[in-house]
Amino acid sequence: MTGDLLGRRKSALAPSYRLFYDDPIEIVRGAGVFLYDADGREYLDCYNNVASVGHSHPRVVEALTKQASTLNTHTRYLHHSVIDLAERLAVKLGGDLSSAIFVCTGSEANDLAVRIARTVTGHNGVVVNDHAYHGNSTLVDQLSLANHPPGERVPDWIGVAEPPNTYRGTHAGDDAGTAYAEDVRRAGQQLSDSGEGVAAFLVDSTWDANGFLNAPVDYLSLATRHVHDLGGLVIADEVQAGYCRTGETWWGFEDYGIVPDIVTLGKPMGAGHPIAAVITTPEIAASFAKADSYFNTFGGNPVSCEVALAVLDVIEDEQLLDNVDRTGAILRQGLDQLSRTHDMIGTIHGKGLFWGVELVTNPETKEPVPESQVNAIVSDLCDRGILTGINGPHCNIIKIRPPLVFGEAHAVRALDALDGSLGSFARQGGTRADQ
Amino acid sequence: MTGDLLGRRKSALAPSYRLFYDDPIEIVRGAGVFLYDADGREYLDCYNNVASVGHSHPRVVEALTKQASTLNTHTRYLHHSVIDLAERLAVKLGGDLSSAIFVCTGSEANDLAVRIARTVTGHNGVVVNDHAYHGNSTLVDQLSLANHPPGERVPDWIGVAEPPNTYRGTHAGDDAGTAYAEDVRRAGQQLSDSGEGVAAFLVDSTWDANGFLNAPVDYLSLATRHVHDLGGLVIADEVQAGYCRTGETWWGFEDYGIVPDIVTLGKPMGAGHPIAAVITTPEIAASFAKADSYFNTFGGNPVSCEVALAVLDVIEDEQLLDNVDRTGAILRQGLDQLSRTHDMIGTIHGKGLFWGVELVTNPETKEPVPESQVNAIVSDLCDRGILTGINGPHCNIIKIRPPLVFGEAHAVRALDALDGSLGSFARQGGTRADQ
């Protein structure tokens, strides 16, 4: 059956499609933190942030069904759902971030946010961190250096700032925040000098595509000051960082004590349903609306909005932010423990329910474990019923980013499997247990 | 209640949002071709193509509910739904159009299609018809001249060809197809001469934003030959034209006897659920995958695909293509009749279940009826319980584009209301009946 599907898939889908794991799995059912394959085998999902409140959450399904049975249309008729959702998010975001535009994907949100920043500032240039990922539209694909081979020419309107990586980057120690922020200033100044100007600094405060970075705490506030001095806006790409992912706070930017000018939301917002948003201040929203128009056919439809409202309800009613903190502490402790017993672990990046386990061949030289071997480990974890992913510019970071309902028992099971898998690979010199 | 909602909406949503009609309506429920407002008032929906198989179709809701209760995840695990859908669409499209990439919106589809064309041809330029609409990403917004004020500078990489408007354009009569196609060649040649080259001719074969055009039958085949001669691809934007909208055939490009290189699908595909697609030949898909990567988090998820499969089932089982032809013939006859009794009707554009009623102050000069007056007529139709829209570069075309389940009785009711409204405005010299 799976073999048959593989063949049909190869014929029907473009070869751009990729499958996870050496032996791809056919997933047919999901519930909470578990996924099940066609043979009924259970997998602990340590990867999928999109199913934010857990797979197939009954309250989300109920909201979806109820609204889809009643009405699904666009925002050019009045409807309370889109207003309710915008109001709820404005309260969650706080400050002046209270003017919303709903779209369908994080890519659409970032594309629109950059367009708003360009329109409002009159500048064209955008600063991003190297190896960031911000989406797949033509515009944000260009801004996502993670999508492009190293050395590929970057368009003149993009300024590239070094990611704030205190493990592997140029700077570490007390002044690292100042030094990395200075690189944002340098990249912005270069755009100003070349005449592009700085429309925005677009930043994901998990630095997901770098494998999660724990940036120096003062990095974003210093960088924000530089960007504002250059006449640009700060766009917080909360597609990864938002919705309690990093614990303690609802939004990643709060961890760094900044108030962005524009916020973009995506993946976890609809627990799998395609909804995303751009939220900014009334002043910026008004300035954009004066100069340009925007309409998104599906964006803000009542079904998507009722789903997004149900996700907010579940996070609040099930106190998932507290759960992230509780389970996050267990993962932190467990991963720290593993890093002491496995030489292969160079460092642990992460916070809350987003962790990156960086694998190196030698802790001194920090030489990355080759991708083929990381892939074998991640495939071995899959064989052990644990779903993770691969991340980072060197493809040497195991990505652990489960649904927000991931609890203590799940964390212990994941840590045990990781311990077993890393131990087995160390003993066998990098071959998969079953090979 | 509606007043309260208006105030809340103004605070919570960006001012980019617009509402239809002089007195906006609060729609709370939909069923088939009917929408209902908060006071229980029924409206005949003559506007919404997105609710392709009718509002809240039980089979679509059932497919949505069933799959959302079971699994919603991305395409990096094997799942049959995305393959089933790709195979079904390949059969419907025919020829070599058999390699699919699923996305969430028509904008994402057109953005990706242009990117594919650029990658595969090595050219940068794109030819579009003037005043076309192709979506809202930064890239396709630039290509959508309908979004921009006349006279705004068009980027160097865009070639603008005159729309094939035989009522108001430069050419009419037997040679019009040749002449309009020659303008596509001229625009493409200019891109070639300037060094941009021709990556694609992106064309919506309803010319929706022009108010629907019935182009000369040989236009697209001649234009396709020119574009291919210049080394470019033809992208059929079927977001409006596809899914039986124009009758007789499933796809708009079939009306013009061409086989495009890339097809994009959107709006009607999920009957309101955000799903869209790019479908091309295996050769083009392979050539793109070799040079570039693409992944869409929500695109092709099992819930969206099961919804899209249900929409295909309903169209087939309820024989909606036949219904489009049947009701389309009634609308054609009725609108022709109205155009003989109302001097204000300059011409009728359209086919199947997509019609544009072009209003002029004088049939000889073709001076467009001012937008304020067209808006008053469309608002009057709304008061009469008939939902339509406004279209065209002069905002003087009443747009009639109902769900595919629109039947004979609905057509008669819509025609009667239009007759009444136009008659009332002619008598009152352009003021709304209730003012």
Tokens encoding A20? 């996870």
Q: How many CB atoms lie within 10 A of CB A52?
A: 26
Contact between B294 and A115 using a beta-carbon 8 Å cutoff:
no
Nearest to A316 by CA among A30, A28, A24, A53: A53
Nearest to A78 by CA among A312, A304, A305, A302: A302
State the DSSP code for B145.
G
- Among A4, A8, A49, A71, pick the best mutation site for testing chain B contact (most B Cβ within 10 A): A71
- Residue B100, classed as helix, strand or coil, is strand
CA distance B55 to chain A (A): 7
Contact between A70 and B28 using a beta-carbon 8 Å cutoff:
yes
Tell me the whole-structure pTM to 2 decimals: 0.97
Q: With beta carbons under 8 A apart, name residues in chain A contacting B138.
A: 111, 114-115, 137-139
Nearest to A184 by CA among A232, A147, A141, A138: A232
CA distance A87 to chain B (A): 6
User: For residue A133, what is the enclosing H or E element?
Assistant: none
- Chain B CB within 8 Å of residue A115 CB: yes
Phi, psi (degrees; rounded to nearest 5) at B81: -60, -45
Tokens encoding A52? 């934010």
Q: How far apart are CA B103 and CA B301, in angstroms?
A: 9
Q: How far apart are CA B17 and CA A102, in angstroms?
A: 10
| Cβ-based burial of A1 (10 A; exposed 0-12, middle 13-18, buried ≥19) | exposed
Q: How far apart are CA B109 and CA B136, in angstroms?
A: 11
Which residues fall within 8 angstroms of residue B114, CB to CB, at 6 or more apart? A138, B126, B139, B140, B143, B199, B200, B202, B235
Q: How far apart are CA B295 and CA B286, in angstroms?
A: 15
Domains of chain B, by residue range, sit at 2-53+319-428, 58-317
- Chain A CB within 8 Å of residue B80 CB: yes
Tokens encoding A143? 């801004």
Instruction: List C-alpha distances in Å: B398 to B144, B318, B334, B346, B359.
Output: 20, 28, 15, 12, 8
* pLDDT reported for residue B433: 44
- Chain A CB within 8 Å of residue B91 CB: no
Tokens encoding A248? 């303690």
pLDDT interval class at A427 (50, 70, 90) = confident
Instruction: Give contacts of A 274-333 with B, CB under 8 A.
Output: 274-275, 278, 280, 285-286, 288-289, 292-298, 300-301, 303-304
* pLDDT reported for residue B1: 58
Q: With beta carbons under 8 A apart, name residues in chain A contacting B64.
A: 64-65, 68
Torsion angle in degrees (nearest 10) through CA of B254, B255, B257, B262: -40
Contact between B51 and A72 using a beta-carbon 8 Å cutoff:
yes
- Chain B CB within 8 Å of residue A395 CB: no
Check pLDDT > 90 for residue B432: no
Q: What is the mean pLDDT of residues A350-361?
A: 98
Which residues fall within 8 angstroms of residue A118, CB to CB, at 6 or more apart? A124, A199, A200
- Residue B180, classed as helix, strand or coil, is helix
CA distance B363 to chain A (A): 32
- Among A57, A105, A280, A303, pick the best mutation site for testing chain B contact (most B Cβ within 10 A): A105
Nearest to A246 by CA among A177, A309, A324: A324
**Closest chain B residue to the Cα of A100, Cα to Cα:** B13
Q: What is the mean pLDDT of residues A141-149?
A: 96
Q: With beta carbons under 8 A apart, name residues in chain B contacting A9.
A: 78, 82-83
Residue among B14, B79, B104 whose CB faces A26 most closely: B79
Contact (CB, 8 A) for A19 and A27: no
CA distance B368 to chain A (A): 24
Tokens encoding B395? 């905002």
Tokens encoding B328? 């389309």
Q: What is the mean pLDDT of residues A194-223?
A: 98
At B293-331, the pLDDT tens digits run: 999 999 999 999 999 999 999 999 999 999 999 999 999
Tokens encoding A18? 């990729």
Q: How far apart are CA B360 and CA A198, in angstroms?
A: 47
Q: What is the mean pLDDT of residues A254-278?
A: 98
Contact between B303 and A273 using a beta-carbon 8 Å cutoff:
yes
Superfamily, domain A2-53+319-428: Aspartate Aminotransferase, domain 1 (3.90.1150.10)
- Chain A CB within 8 Å of residue B66 CB: no
Which residues fall within 8 angstroms of residue A419, CB to CB, at 6 or more apart? A338, A341, A342
Amino acid (one-letter) located at A312? L
Instruction: List C-alpha distances in Å: A354 to A13, A379, A404, B69.
Output: 31, 20, 10, 26
Q: What is the DSSP string of B213-244?
A: ----TTHHHHHHHHHHHTT-EEEEEHHHHTTT
Residue among B16, B267, B292 whose CB faces A294 most closely: B16
* pLDDT reported for residue B430: 52
Residue among A30, A58, A289 whose CB faces B16 most closely: A289
Helices B106-121, A106-121: axis angle to 10 degrees equals 80
Q: How far apart are CA A43 and CA A35, in angstroms?
A: 5
> What share of chain B in percent tops pLDDT 70?
98
Residue among A13, A71, A101 whose CB faces B14 most closely: A101
Amino acid (one-letter) located at A293? S
Contact between A14 and B99 using a beta-carbon 8 Å cutoff:
yes
**Closest chain B residue to the Cα of A288, Cα to Cα:** B16
At A1-26, the pLDDT tens digits run: 577 999 999 999 999 999 999 999 99
> What share of chain A in percent tops pLDDT 90?
96
- Chain A CB within 8 Å of residue B76 CB: yes
Contact (CB, 8 A) for B375 and B367: no
Which residues fall within 8 angstroms of residue B227, CB to CB, at 6 or more apart? B127, B184, B188, B198, B200, B201, B233, B234
At B145-196, the pLDDT tens digits run: 999 998 899 999 999 999 999 999 999 999 999 999 999 999 999 999 999 9
**Closest chain A residue to the Cα of B1, Cα to Cα:** A80
Contact between A65 and B70 using a beta-carbon 8 Å cutoff:
no
Instruction: List C-alpha distances in Å: B421 to A201, B395, B397, B428.
Output: 52, 18, 14, 10
Q: With beta carbons under 8 A apart, name residues in chain B contacting A108.
A: 104-105, 107-108, 136-137
Tokens encoding B264? 């994009």
Q: Which residue has the tokens 């010199």?
A: A429
Torsion angle in degrees (nearest 10) through CA of B372, B374, B378, B384: 100
CB pairs under 8 A between A and B: 302
Residue among A72, A75, A293 whose CB faces B147 most closely: A293
Q: What is the mean pLDDT of residues A365-389?
A: 97
Q: How far apart are CA A47 and CA A35, in angstroms?
A: 11
DSSP β-bridge partners for residue A78:
B26
Alpha carbons within 13 A on the beta-carbon side of B355:
28
Q: Which residue has the tokens 């009569």?
A: B173
- Chain A CB within 8 Å of residue B399 CB: no
Contact between A16 and B74 using a beta-carbon 8 Å cutoff:
no
Contact (CB, 8 A) for B353 and B245: yes
Check pLDDT > 80 for residue A58: yes
pLDDT interval class at B3 (50, 70, 90) = confident
Contact (CB, 8 A) for A60 and A246: no
> What share of chain A in percent tops pLDDT 70?
98
Q: How far apart are CA A63 and CA A59, in angstroms?
A: 6
Contact between B111 and A75 using a beta-carbon 8 Å cutoff:
no
Amino acid (one-letter) located at A304? S
Amino acid (one-letter) located at B264? T
- Among A10, A52, A104, pick the best mutation site for testing chain B contact (most B Cβ within 10 A): A104
Q: How far apart are CA A146 and CA A149, in angstroms?
A: 8
Contact between A139 and B141 using a beta-carbon 8 Å cutoff:
no
- Chain A CB within 8 Å of residue B158 CB: no
Q: Which residue has the tokens 């695990």?
A: B77
* pLDDT reported for residue B435: 39
Instruction: List C-alpha distances in Å: A131 to A7, A146, A148, A358, A413.
Output: 33, 4, 8, 16, 32
Check pLDDT > 70 for residue B197: yes
- Residue A432, classed as helix, strand or coil, is coil
Check pLDDT > 50 for residue B74: yes
Q: With beta carbons under 8 A apart, name residues in chain A contacting B90.
A: 12
* pLDDT reported for residue A334: 98
Phi, psi (degrees; rounded to nearest 5) at B356: -125, 120
* pLDDT reported for residue A428: 77
**Closest chain A residue to the Cα of B278, Cα to Cα:** A14
Check pLDDT > 70 for residue B415: yes
User: For residue A16, what is the enclosing H or E element?
Assistant: none
CATH class label, B58-317: alpha beta
* pLDDT reported for residue A3: 73
Torsion angle in degrees (nearest 10) through CA of A313, A318, A322, A327: -120
Q: What is the mean pLDDT of residues A34-57?
A: 98
Check pLDDT > 70 for residue A66: yes
At B367-397, the pLDDT tens digits run: 999 999 999 999 999 999 999 999 999 999 9
Choose between A43 and B434: higher pLDDT.
A43
Contact (CB, 8 A) for A197 and A124: yes
> What share of chain B in percent tops pLDDT 90?
96
* pLDDT reported for residue B403: 98
